[in-house]
Amino acid sequence: MDNLDAIFHYSSSATSPTAAISSHLSLNMSNHYSLADHHSNKSRYMSSYDQSDDDHDLRLIGENRNGFSDNNIFVGDRVSPTTNSFSTCDGSGELNTENKLNVKKGEKKIRKPKYAFQTRSQVDILDDGYRWRKYGQKAVKNNKFPRSYYRCTQQGCNVKKQVQRLSKDEGVVVTTYEGMHTHPIEKSTDNFEHILTQMQIYSSC
């Protein structure tokens, strides 16, 4: 687990888990970029988010301590090369103009870490305080639910996230963040209390 340098624990006193995650990720992701070359280029993590299996590419790095155990945070860096359409490895968030893959010929591909957390929720989109624009949706193998692709709408900020509901457990939503926000959170985090309340209601069903 040499790719882990952040473990998230947050208690019920935290203003919001998603805000805490977003904040932590924004602050810490740059630390992971240098680790990106440690791993192979596969993207098979898409097939499973099972935290019990060390072989999977998204690894459990923390879990919610606020009473509903289904909210887990994962970290991984198996980013498909095709996702390297932007480069914020220097923290600038500026688009690399090389090409779609953001890789010069002959250069080693730059992979970005991904951070995912799964939440038991009836709603797919959890408000994390940032504004997102959907740019794609794909059917996923072995999953009856599609995966949605979102980009941060803030100009110059190229953070992406993927949202997918688990086929084997329809109540679980996996949100995967990729990149580092180059701007402060846009919305009040008061909203998260509402989301939390919602999640607690649903999780008790």
Q: Name the residues that contact DNA, by CB under 7 A.
A: 40-44, 46-47, 79-83, 85, 100-101, 103, 109, 131-141, 147-149, 153, 160, 162
Kindly state the smallest distance separating residue 77's Cβ from DNA, in Å.
12
Kindly state the smallest distance separating residue 128's Cβ from DNA, in Å.
14
Kindly state the smallest distance separating residue 147's Cβ from DNA, in Å.
6
Kindly compute the dihedral angle of the four CA atoms of residues 11, 12, 17, 20, in this order, to the nearest 10 degrees.
-60
Between 12 and 47, name the residue whose CB sits nearer to DNA.
47
Between 81 and 171, name the residue whose CB sits nearer to DNA.
81
Between 153 and 200, name the residue whose CB sits nearer to DNA.
153
Kindly state the smallest distance separating residue 160's Cβ from DNA, in Å.
6
Between 23 and 162, name the residue whose CB sits nearer to DNA.
162
